[in-house]
Amino acid sequence: MLPATAVSLAVLAALLAWPVPALLARARWPRRDPLVALVCWQAIGLAGGLSMIGALLVHGLSPWGHSLPEALRSVLTAHPAADPVRGDHWAALTLAGVLASELLGVLVLSWVRTTRTRRRHRELLELVVEPSAELPDTRLLDHPAPVAFCIPGARPLLVLSSGMVAELDGDQLAAVVAHERAHLREHHHLLLLPFVAWEAALPVLPAAGRAHAAVRELVEMRADDVALGSLSGTAPRRTLARAIVAAAGGGEEVPRGALAVSGGATGARVVRLLEPPSPLPVPVRWAALASAGLLLLVPTGLLVLPAL
């Protein structure tokens, strides 16, 4: 018989692998409070991996004991299994090992790969472009396309193309810089990393790609919100929206792949700036944060607490 813990973890894993991310990706409330939604996404990712691997582990070790601590203790002390160990136990253990090492391996791999690429970009930039006197962490790249981006890391760099500077007025440029600085200050690249890795590790799971796209969109909205807080001027929302539209204007030389996704997300950002949705009511906000916490507590509790 399967231990109740393994069954509950498997059900949770199934919910987190498909219906829950699908619901959250389609929900309207995340754009009202991107930060809370980002917390929820992190909880879903973490709890999903934990329950998936945990379910396999608990089932695979069930001949040695009916809870994970109990089974681990008897395995580590070389106690013989109380029940006969069947093929499906070994299969579950193998699958747990493969999944755990794949998820962690891909995470480490994409971390190493992006870090290396970022370092090369930074070296290239520092060589090609001289730092400006008033903005030491900003580089102006001579290129007609209106582009702004940042390179995260220990020595972050903020890059503006000359096309961007030519296209925008002073207030709009300040809005762009504030947006990119928000990415850097809140380390948004770290929030994205697990979802990049998750998508690479589980390409068959449609939820993985959808989660990645949703988190990417939320991170941009969050950076917009932070930027608005630091902007002066009469209508910062409109200034930022105009900067986004101006930056999106030169779309000719861009390759065609994945355009609909980012274009739709850009439209959502502009709409959100021009017609701001009402912020989430405080109780709803706390309820969402509490569910995120609960989502992490449930699999952890199932794994650590003695058998049901």
**Which helix (DSSP H) or strand (DSSP E) does residue 284 occupy?**
helix 282-304
Looking at beta carbons only, is 26 or 113 nearer to other proteins? 113
Any contact of residue 222 with other proteins (CB under 8 A)? no
- Provide long-range contacts, Cβ within 8 A and 24+ apart, for 134-140: 135/177, 138/177, 140/165
Separation of alpha carbons 37 and 43, rounded Å: 10
Residue whose structure tokens are 């992006």: 114
Work out which of 4, 108, 135, 235 binds other proteins, going by CB under 8 A: 235
Chosen residue from 22, 137, 238, 307 binding other proteins by CB under 8 A? 238
Q: How far is the CB of 156 from other proteins (least distance, A)?
A: 10
Stretch that binds other proteins, among 12-20, 47-55, 246-254, 280-288 (CB under 8 A): 246-254
Query: Is 259 a residue that touches other proteins (CB under 8 A)?
Result: yes
Beta strands 138-141 and 157-161, pairing class: parallel
Binding window for other proteins (CB under 8 A); candidates: 37-45, 76-84, 182-190, 280-288? 182-190
Site residues for other proteins, 145-164, by CB under 8 A, read 145, 147-152, 161, 164
Residues 6+ apart with CB under 8 A from 306: 67, 69, 70
Instruction: Pick the stretch among 20-28, 60-68, 254-262, 294-302 that binds other proteins (CB under 8 A).
Output: 254-262
Distance CA 193, CA 109 (A): 11
Q: Is residue 136 within the footprint of other proteins (CB under 8 A)?
A: no
Interface region with other proteins, contact rule CB under 8 A, candidates 32-40, 47-55, 251-259, 291-299: 251-259
Q: Which of 77, 133, 253, 282 binds other proteins (CB under 8 A)?
A: 253
- x/- site string to other proteins, residues 98 to 127, per CB under 8 A? ------------x--xx--xx-xx-xxxxx
Q: In Å, what is the CA distance from 59 to each residue of 63, 82, 85, 147, 210?
A: 8, 14, 11, 51, 30
Nearer to other proteins, 43 or 247 (CB): 247
Number of residues that bind other proteins (CB under 8 A): 71
Q: Which two tokens stand for residue 206?
A: 């449609």
**CA distance to 49, 142, 175, 219, per residue, from 170 (Å):** 46, 18, 9, 24
Task: Using the rule CB under 8 A, give the single segment among 85-93, 260-268, 285-293, 299-307 that binds other proteins.
Answer: 260-268
Judged by CB under 8 A, the residue of 53, 57, 71, 219 near other proteins is: 219
Question: Cα–Cα distance between 174 and 161 in angstroms, integer?
Answer: 14
- Min dist CB 142 to other proteins, Å, is 6
The answer to whether 80 contacts other proteins (rule: CB under 8 A) is no
Which region among 48-56, 66-74, 75-83, 270-278 touches other proteins (by CB under 8 A)? 270-278
Cα torsion for 17, 20, 21, 27, to the nearest 10°? 170
Q: Which of 32, 66, 89, 179 binds other proteins (CB under 8 A)?
A: 179
10 Å CB burial of residue 244 (0-12, 13-18, 19+) is buried
C-alpha 94/C-alpha 4 separation (Å) is 21
Q: Is 1 in the site for other proteins (CB under 8 A)?
A: no
> What residues have CB less than 8 Å from 217, skipping those under 6 apart?
265, 268, 269
